Structure 1
């Protein structure tokens, strides 16, 4: 894969960026297999039990990928969903031609949080790479989404029906369990039981949708005997609910277990769909005022993964963070992944240019003469997001991040905020996954 990164010079240098993060496999054509991939990185928000984001997605296909239409859904967000103010820009950032750069987390509409993602293409011996054509369906209007008629999600890949079972690679062993039991474990690992009930319900439906999608897509080489795994960098975080109760919640174990089970039971069999198909229900912890679109982050326009207003992210304990390192430490980290980068001489001259997404995410930047994706830099340096500013002083380099996760799809803290404002889980889901509806799985 081609590497990338970048900025200008000066004693104090600030780069504004913001990224993504999970893996998407799109169908190939030609005589070889072809894949477009985007990988992720996810940590846990220890204060709330939230996972930073969920993992890889397979978008299998031969040619067309039916991802549905566009349109916004869900209730209107309050004015507080916007971030006031603007930034005059960094005159040393070559990307911001007239000093019109966007500071992390600040602009007229605010900028979404990023995530970690690597993008590369892998083709077969003679195969050409295709991501497939996108078929758009009709727009799904605003307001709460009702339940569509039974959706048959049984096609290629392993069949999962309402009330069915799923194979999970957890703790190094494959366990077959009821789908709803698995969803309980993902919810326990991914979101705090202290969150509003509607936010937890939204997480349950998103987790179920993602699992059904993964099972339908087929088992990848990472776990050929299982539909999903508990590796949050590949699928989704998972913990046995009983283990979570005994090891994490202490005297609140009974109460918290009941909260999670109720949210899962209340939404049993419900998934988010587009054109009667389960969607790629990615989620992350917290956005910086807006989520990212799949197109800006992964290069593929998926109509239901658009940039939308997402207030409430600042409630996340890792919404803002700083990673500081000496120049030697920075060189060591970068050279492990980018040995060709020239990091000699004045550190203020290591960075030269960057390209951002429409929401402010750094798509690529140039560092030491090498182009690096902002999301890859996040992974290499262990940043909370790719929405960051960079400061160089005489002795060190510091990265100041805003947001937590890849920034695409459902924001857990955004869901919390909307639930506190009275939104239902259907409102929340159809806001973050635009143009979708909530459907009952077929038995």
Structure 2
């Protein structure tokens, strides 16, 4: 890990040199090997060979999630398929996924980037890392897994679920670092207490690396109190790599971007103008050395800012603030991306309900996300029939579970009982923001 430690403390002038060279290399690679970029650059009058400074980068057109969906499955590959060793996907609003492909080199970089989060947690090869993110197409599980291997730590690939077993393994195997979503960490804490344990005393946790969904400072404080450890945030997305794009250090004063692998910009989401450090806007990322699925100026839709100044921890890589929200209407429920349009698509398959609905997101006593869909029935449906109501609610709920991979409670309501608006309909009420 000595090389990683050196780059984390390298003078920022050295980092900037790496970034500019990486941007040039990536832009030219995309232009020459991915038809989408050739067309996009040509239409914008952007010559990737002309990049001489960071100001030149702002002349390149953006790439958005829909562009990646439109290129499904292999339209955004910059290498022959035989060089791709792994594929991950994120869900899409219409069922079309965005694809993240990885060469052996990309997987090595991914592991090293997540390992920085373990390093920031004062981790070493003596740690036991329990990975309770889901494995599979979701990048969380394997991202943490590769990071643990990069640190040469002991990795327990337990995945999510079977919580009481998670806790027994955690206690018996001496887990020191827990990797999972923050809401699942809270569920683990509450379940341990229900089992008669004192997690802060009976477990051996020192740190938790938690991402894939936002969480408040109050939520963090409660987690730390219950589990007796330090909670560190991690940021990433399939379109650029996965978890490890940015990691929070022990200071908890923002997340350090892996700037030798990613070039961050903050833009005004309305105008596309690049904003100075300290101002809130939309995060845009360019990969610097990704082989299979490179991106140039990818609009993440995540709202944050670059924090001015250097972190007290001594790491020279710039920090982004914790994600403030999104520019679109996507919800993150227990680490799964959910769009209102996906719910609309399901509702359209049921003649008994109208197009008027409202989604209410709250948390239960265990701080787990609870989603309730209030759906207006069409005139003529017998709301007075308990059996009919329960049957339809179960049918809609089961269909949503299949489509979203998230449990949704369904509550049928009277026609025209959901408030109308002359402007934009208020489809989502997120009560989590009020807590």
TM-score range, shorter chain: under 0.3
* Higher alpha-carbon Rg: 2
Q: Structure 2 length as normaliser, TM-score?
A: 0.27
Q: Structure 1 length as normaliser, TM-score?
A: 0.27
The structure that is helix-richer by fraction is 2
